[in-house]
Each structure stands twice: as C-alpha cells, then as structure tokens.
Chains A and B, each alone.
Chain A
Amino acid sequence: TQLLEQSPQFLSIQEGENLTVYCNSSSVFSSLQWYRQEPGEGPVLLVTVVTGGEVKKLKRLTFQFGDARKDSSLHITAAQPGDTGLYLCAGADSNYQLIWGAGTKLIIKP
C-alpha cells in the first residue's frame, strides 16, 4: 500500500516568517497535487507537478517535485494570515488513483 506522509502535522507561526511543508513517500508518483482547504470549505487545487525536479511558483508559494518523484515540498515565503488553512498533498499512483497525505494544518498569526 502506498503511503504519503506529510510533515509537520501542525504549524503555527507569525506573519512574515517562512515555512516549508513536506510530502514524502517510498513510492514513485506520476504526478503530485497540492490543495489548500479553508474551514468549512472543500479543498482547492493549488498546483500539479509532473516532472521530477520540477519547480512551480504561485506568488509567495514555491512547490518542488523531487528528482525521483517520491517527494514534494511546499515553501511559503513571508507567510500571511490568508495562508492559514489545511494543506493537502495527493500523489497519482500507477493506476492513476490519488493517494492523499494526512494534511498540514497551518496557522499564521498576525
């Protein structure tokens, strides 16, 4: 069974700080998606990474797919209160089904 481990599970930091969230597996994924979920809402896709070593930027968010396509990271620069939410990663397995991480709950304090 493929597993996708996210760390940390919970992170509370001050506005303006930088942070990195990790998504790791021993399995290879054909692609990996990052979602953000705000309270009372469904997850919303932030980015999909497909190629090993790929880096994508979305304003202050930088996403990287590991060279071996087994891991990914999300780095937020100068975090803002609006970045608060649950960040979920999901990897596509060989059957193109999504394997979900347990999520990182991020709180940015003003």
Chain B
Amino acid sequence: DSGVTQTPKHLITATGQRVTLRCSPRSGDLSVYWYQQSLDQGLQFLIQYYNGEERAKGNILERFSAQQFPDLHSELNLSSLELGDSALYFCASSAITGANVLTFGAGSRLTVL
C-alpha cells in the first residue's frame, strides 16, 4: 500500500457520460498530480495541485477538470466521455511542489463503451 488511495478502481460507463475519480494523497503530502495512461503507453501528465491551488497544467482536455479540496483530497472530473478516454488514470502525491519523488496510487481504470 503506497498510502495514496484512488477510487473507484474500475469504472465502466457509456459515451457522453460524466464520471468523477477521487484521490486521497499520502498523509502529509500537499501536492497531487493526475496522469492518464493508455494501454501499454507511458504516462501523460494532466494537472497538478499544491495545497488547493492549481500549480501546473499538462495535456488536459477542456472536457476534463480537477480540483483539490481543503482536506487535500482531489477529484478529476471527466465529462462528455469518448471511447478514446478509456485509460488508466493515476493520482500521485508528493510532499512539496516541484519534481520530487512521486508516490502513485493504484489507479482507476476507466472503460467507455
């Protein structure tokens, strides 16, 4: 157990729908990162939050949004889902912002039918 908790572990939904993925960072970590990983691909950075504020943005689609709450948990919202959004979505946390050691959760596998 890495200490980073992601829910749900698996999610199957239909095109056009909206889903929310949740992440609780490791205790004491202030930074949360979201990544997308398609089948047998590397990690695509989506967005980073630090202590509730957006810190860096990657290749995140406009249909996607995220936030980090006062208790430091984060949610990634995916809307108007398309088949191509099917992927593993990972959350990672680190103690501070910047390129520190990232601790990853086990991921949420999203399947869009």
Q: In the complex, which range does the number of interface residues on chain A fall in? A: 20 to 34
Q: What 1/0 mask marks residues of chain A from 4 to 33 whose CB sits below 8 Å from any chain B CB? A: 001000000000000000000000001101
- Chain B interfacial residues counted at CB < 8 A: 21
The minimal Cβ–Cβ distance linking B57 to chain A, given in whole angstroms, is 10
| Interface of B: prevailing SS | loop
Number of A-B contacts (CB under 8 A): 56
Complex formed: what's the CA distance from A45 to B107 in Å? 16
> What are 18 A-B pairs with beta-carbon distances under 8 A?
A6-B42, A40-B107, A42-B4, A42-B90, A42-B92, A42-B106, A43-B43, A43-B104, A48-B101, A92-B98, A95-B56, A96-B99, A98-B45, A100-B43, A101-B42, A102-B41, A103-B41, A103-B42
- Chain A residues at the B interface, C-beta cutoff of 8 Å: 6, 30-31, 33, 40-45, 48, 86, 88, 90, 92-93, 95-98, 100-103, 105
